[in-house]
Each structure stands twice: as C-alpha cells, then as structure tokens.
Amino acid sequence: MARLLCVKFRNNLRNLIRLPPSKDFNSCKTEMRYGYTIERMARLREERVGMADMHASISSLFSSITADGGRPRRALKTLPVFSNLSVKRLIELLFGVSASGYSSQKQSIQASVGIRFSSQNDIESTVKQGTVISSDIRFKYPEFLPHPYMKWRNSIREKLERSDMLKRRSNIVIPEFYVGSILAVTSSNVHAVTRTTKFVGICIRRQGSGLNSSFLLRNVVDNQGVEILYELYDPKIQKIDVLRLEKRLDNDLMYLRDAEPQYSTFPFDMEPEYLSKEEEVPINPIKVKLKPRPWRKRYELDDYKGIEPFDHLLSWRVIRRKPRALKHKRPVQYDLMWHYRNTIPEEEQREIYTEVCSELQKQEIRGQKIKRKSEFVSPEKAT
C-alpha cells in the first residue's frame, strides 16, 4: 500500500512540475531537500526558461568542462560571479551559444524602450530623454529591489510600494549611504521630554526591501554598546544626516558587537565630512580586533575581510573542527540555481530602475539645492 502511494505521489509530482519522463524521482527529491517547493518549481518553469532545459544545459556544461582538458577546477574558477546576471545571459556566458540571439534581443529591447543599457564592463551608462541609469544605482538604492523569494512577490504591491517610497522621498531627503557609513538620525519620540531624539552611529546592517527596509545603527555611549534599528521610510524620522560617507570591506558589520569598543565609538557632536559628488565613495580598509570568545557567531567559518587574523583566540578544539565544518558548508558560489533563486534578474532590475530613476534624479538635484541653501553664509559688510 505504501509503495502504491509512493508511486502515485511520484506521478503526481511529475505532472505538477512537468518534468520530462527521463527525469527520475531521486533527483526531484534532492531538489526538494534543498528548499525547492513544488509550486515554486512549477512557477519557475512557467515564468522563465524551462527548468528542465536549465538542468540539461547546466549538466551538459559541467560534462563539457570536465571533458575539456580534464581540468574541471581550473575551468570553474574562470566562471564569473553570477549574482547580477540573468539566466539568459548566464547561459550565453557559459556556452557562447545563443549569444547572437541574445544580443539581437537586447537590441530589440533597446529599440522598443528607447534606452541603451550599459554592458557588464561599462561603468557609466547612457542617456535616454535626459535620464541616466548608472550601473551603481542598485547599490545606491538597494531597497527598490523586491525580495527575491517567489512566494512573497506581488507585482502590484511592489509597484504601489515603489510609488509610496518616492512620495516619502519627496518629503524627506533620504541620502545615499552604505554599511559602514556614519549617520545621525533625528526622529520624533513620544517618550522623550523634547519629543525628538538624535542618535549617531555606524550603520552595521541594511536589510529588508520596499517600505520594509531598515538599517541598524551602533554606537558606544559611556562604555555601553547601544544599537537602534530604524526603518528607512518611517514617518517618525525627521532627518537623516550622513556624517561620514564610506564603505567597509564587508557588507555586514555585525562583528562589531564582538569587537573592541573603540571600533564603534563615535561622538554625538561629530562634524559632517563633505564628499564632492564626483568623488567615488571611499572604502575604509580598517580591520577590527575581536574580543576573546565567546562570540555571537562562528566567525572562523566565514571569510570576513574586515577582521584581523584571530586564530590565536580560537581554542584547539575549534581549530581542529574547522576544516570538517567547512567541508559540510554548502558551496553556493557555483550553485547557479541558488543564485537564480536569491537574486532579482538583471532584466527586472532594469525595469524597476527605469521606472524610478527619473524621479530619483529630480529628488537628488532638489536635495543638493537644499544643502547649498543651508550652507549659504551671508557675507559680512566690508568696513
């Protein structure tokens, strides 16, 4: 009976995800173990290039790589980072096939929309009716990209959220900042005597998307570490000032919690440091020193660039189990499906940013004007 049920389930599964008959049940099972759901696979299949095609192409790619000179590792190393590539582009890159097809399609897109998109190597981008989409816009305004989880996607909600975000941005200047920048946030607080509070701190994390996006500020006040989470589009926020615009070596600075306090101490009366608009945002190469264990995370298992070497702080037992733990870590850097599921495809990113970029630029110019106004000092009378 159990076996019969199993067969029935297998057939149903096949029908659901419409796999070719050659695809066997075991491979489906492995896929499910790694978090594919049946609905999602079906949806993926409907929406994009067929999943089966993808699988076939990827497996043939790997066989071709291994066949080519018998040096699979070396060939794999030459693969680019996939995070902002679309599936079509990925296949094109991997095989060299359909390159002409893709480029012709690209041209047709360009012709229809009237915009030329920058290619991978271009740093600056191009102009369409006075609007510029620069290639770093997705790092500048990461919250405009929706969460890549398929079940949470809803195009109408995303569109409404985007318009709401722009409306909020027309009322308050939300400046460009990154993880590692030092911010001062003035917000209204019903609990305070003066009804407003100001907090200064280093941004150690940016998370969320859309109206949900938030950032976490950290500071050490009177030798006491304090963190406050702010929502970026919270109406309580009155003003966001960037005191020092810079990036760090990592995109997540949560390790400052386990680092010495001097690395996250910033005075509340800090003067803002102005950076001219042409200058690139500098990367601060500082490496922090960790306090002795216990830590909040197993930092030895991830490669953080912003931490000083800390092997002397680990016990011999941790050092002994490190290679074993690394062996069981899931290698995502070559997992195409992982990248596909955890990033927004390039085409969608373009669509979103073409929708909002003109409005954002207008607001940027307006923000500069406000800044210049506030900087203006009336000349003194000559005697």
Query: Among 84, 134, 186, 234, which residue sits at the site for another protein (rule: CB under 8 A)?
Result: 234
Give the span between the Cα atoms of 263 and 202, in whole angstroms: 10
Query: Among 75, 173, 221, 249, which residue sits at the site for another protein (rule: CB under 8 A)?
Result: 221
Q: Which is nearer to another protein, 53 or 227 (CB)?
A: 227
Contact 297, 304 (CB under 8 A): no
Subset of 87-116 contacting another protein (CB under 8 A): none
Query: Among 176, 231, 355, 359, which residue sits at the site for another protein (rule: CB under 8 A)?
Result: 231
Determine if 315 is a binding residue for another protein (CB under 8 A).
yes
Determine if 191 is a binding residue for another protein (CB under 8 A).
yes
Give the span between the Cα atoms of 122 and 313, in whole angstroms: 43
- DSSP symbols for 214-237: EEEEEEEETTEEEEEEEETT-TTE
As measured in angstroms, the least distance from the Cβ of 288 to another protein is: 15
What type of residue is 141?
Answer: Y
As measured in angstroms, the least distance from the Cβ of 260 to another protein is: 12
As measured in angstroms, the least distance from the Cβ of 310 to another protein is: 16
Determine if 252 is a binding residue for another protein (CB under 8 A).
no
Q: Which is nearer to another protein, 26 or 224 (CB)?
A: 224
Q: Which residues contact 353 (CB under 8 A, 6 or more apart)?
A: 133, 137, 138, 141, 144
Q: Which residues contact 115 (CB under 8 A, 6 or more apart)?
A: 126, 128, 133, 354
Determine if 330 is a binding residue for another protein (CB under 8 A).
no
Termini Cα distance of the chain: 104
Tokens 């096949």 -> residue: 14
Give the span between the Cα atoms of 302 and 131, in whole angstroms: 40
As measured in angstroms, the least distance from the Cβ of 220 to another protein is: 8
Q: Which residues contact 315 (CB under 8 A, 6 or more apart)?
A: 293
Give the span between the Cα atoms of 106 and 324, in whole angstroms: 46
Q: Which residues contact 46 (CB under 8 A, 6 or more apart)?
A: none
Q: Which stretch binds another protein (CB under 8 A): 56-64, 82-90, 226-234, 303-311?
A: 226-234
Determine if 262 is a binding residue for another protein (CB under 8 A).
no
Q: Which is nearer to another protein, 299 or 340 (CB)?
A: 299
Q: Which is nearer to another protein, 229 or 283 (CB)?
A: 229
Q: Which residues contact 131 (CB under 8 A, 6 or more apart)?
A: 354, 357, 358, 361
As measured in angstroms, the least distance from the Cβ of 195 to another protein is: 10
Give the span between the Cα atoms of 39 and 244, in whole angstroms: 46
Going from the C-alpha of 241 to that of each of 7, 173, 175, 289, the distances in angstroms are 62, 9, 7, 28
Subset of 271-300 contacting another protein (CB under 8 A): 296-297
Query: Among 26, 223, 374, 383, which residue sits at the site for another protein (rule: CB under 8 A)?
Result: 223
Query: Among 230, 255, 266, 310, which residue sits at the site for another protein (rule: CB under 8 A)?
Result: 230
Q: Could you tell me how many residues of this chain bind another protein (CB under 8 A)?
A: 28
- Residues 38-77, one symbol each (x = binds another protein by CB under 8 A, - = not), give ----------------------------------------
Determine if 187 is a binding residue for another protein (CB under 8 A).
yes
Q: Which is nearer to another protein, 51 or 232 (CB)?
A: 232
Determine if 222 is a binding residue for another protein (CB under 8 A).
yes
Give the span between the Cα atoms of 31 and 14, in whole angstroms: 13
In the complex, the residues that contact another protein under the rule CB under 8 A are 187, 189-193, 197, 199, 214, 221-231, 234, 236, 257, 296-297, 315, 317-318
